[in-house]
Amino acid sequence: MSAGYFPKRETLSLKDLFKGLATASHVLHYHGVLDAYGHVSVRSPDNPATFWMPRNVPPALISSPNDFVEYKIEDASAVETNAAKGYVERYIHSEIYKKFPDINSVVHSHSEHVLPYAVSGVPLKPTIHMAGFLGTTVPIWNISSAYSSGSLQDVLVRDVPLGASFASTFKPATSTGFIYSKVRSALPSQIGGSQEPDNKPNHSVSLMQNHGFTTVAYGIEEAVYQAIYTQEAAKAQTSSLVLRNAYVGHVLEGKVDVEGGGKFKSAKVKAEGGIAYLTDQEAHDTWKSIQTTIERPWELWQREVEVHPLYRYDSSGTDYD
């Protein structure tokens, strides 16, 4: 099998790929990014026209290679006719892979910490240097504008048109400079595909109104990192907003009319205690720096789920042993 999706690895077997997907699912559950719902996928290293993701099973309970299904990117149909039942929202993944040939891993989450920013009108922004990948703008997709006439309006991305509409939010009609310059592929060029800017998303994270968020990346470890730190950034921002609103002070600015009894003239009330978000340059540079260290948290997260009794994975007795 081709060189792989993990930093500093020369080769990657299908067995290793499945183990990586299982570990990613377990890690994301352990950190509360996924619960019984949500999913992570990866593009097939030797066939860019297909991708792998778990069957319809809670992420924490993925336990063997038999829990994975290979899908066609063209229409999200299973490669094998007798494949296990899959997730309804696999079209999120297939359409992102279709639109962005360089993207190799996708995480979809309903994180309770991120969801408020998909319903409140408060923009999600990077408050911590660990989340520079968010950039200064995180788009929000409203599925209600993409429903076809007479379709089931259950807020699920359950077909190709809805998946294509959502995938387009990662590359709106704006400059490609921000995300293209700071999100670099960890893969060899023969796997990464075309290096043209048009194949790169402008955003690494997109919110889904009333639903959750999705993040796209060039490898499994990077996708897991971005999913976890999107949630951490949301926690930090929410705490900052709550603290600011509870403690904010106000200053009255203006001129004092001494002869008029000390009243203010042309007075303005100025709030104190604004939230300091990363600048565009800071977001760019922090992500560029952090990107070289992603294997460090991955090593920790992998060990956390290895020693936890809930998470099990066994490839013995399969063709991938």
Give the CATH number of the domain where residue 189 resides.
Answer: 3.40.225.10
- Amino acid at site 37: Y
Q: What is the pTM of this model?
A: 0.84
Instruction: Give domain status of residue 259, yes or no.
Output: no
In 3D space, the residue among 298, 284, 315, 316 whose CA is nearest the CA of residue 133 turns out to be 284
Q: Quick check: 113 and 231 in contact, CB under 8 A?
A: yes
Report the SS3 class of residue 252.
strand
Instruction: Give domain status of residue 269, yes or no.
Output: no
Instruction: Give domain status of residue 263, yes or no.
Output: no
Instruction: Give domain status of residue 272, yes or no.
Output: no
Q: Quick check: 20 and 42 in contact, CB under 8 A?
A: yes
Instruction: Give domain status of residue 311, yes or no.
Output: no
Q: Distances in Å between the alpha carbon of 291 and those of 93, 103, 133, 212, 283?
A: 23, 16, 9, 24, 12
Q: Which domain holds residue 112?
A: 14-247+278-306
Domain count of the fold of the chain: 1
Q: What is the pLDDT along the chain (321 residues), one digit of tens a residue?
A: 344 455 545 566 888 999 999 999 999 999 999 999 999 999 998 899 999 999 999 999 999 999 999 999 999 999 999 999 999 999 999 999 999 999 999 999 999 999 999 999 999 999 999 999 999 999 999 999 999 988 899 999 999 999 999 999 999 754 434 444 444 433 433 333 344 456 789 999 999 999 999 999 999 999 999 999 999 999 999 999 998 888 776 555 666 555 566 555 665 655 555 789 999 999 999 999 999 999 999 999 999 999 999 999 998 867 665
Catalytic site residue 89?
yes
Instruction: Give domain status of residue 97, yes or no.
Output: yes
Instruction: Give domain status of residue 268, yes or no.
Output: no
Given 10, 89, 253, 272, the catalytic residue: 89
Instruction: Give domain status of residue 7, yes or no.
Output: no
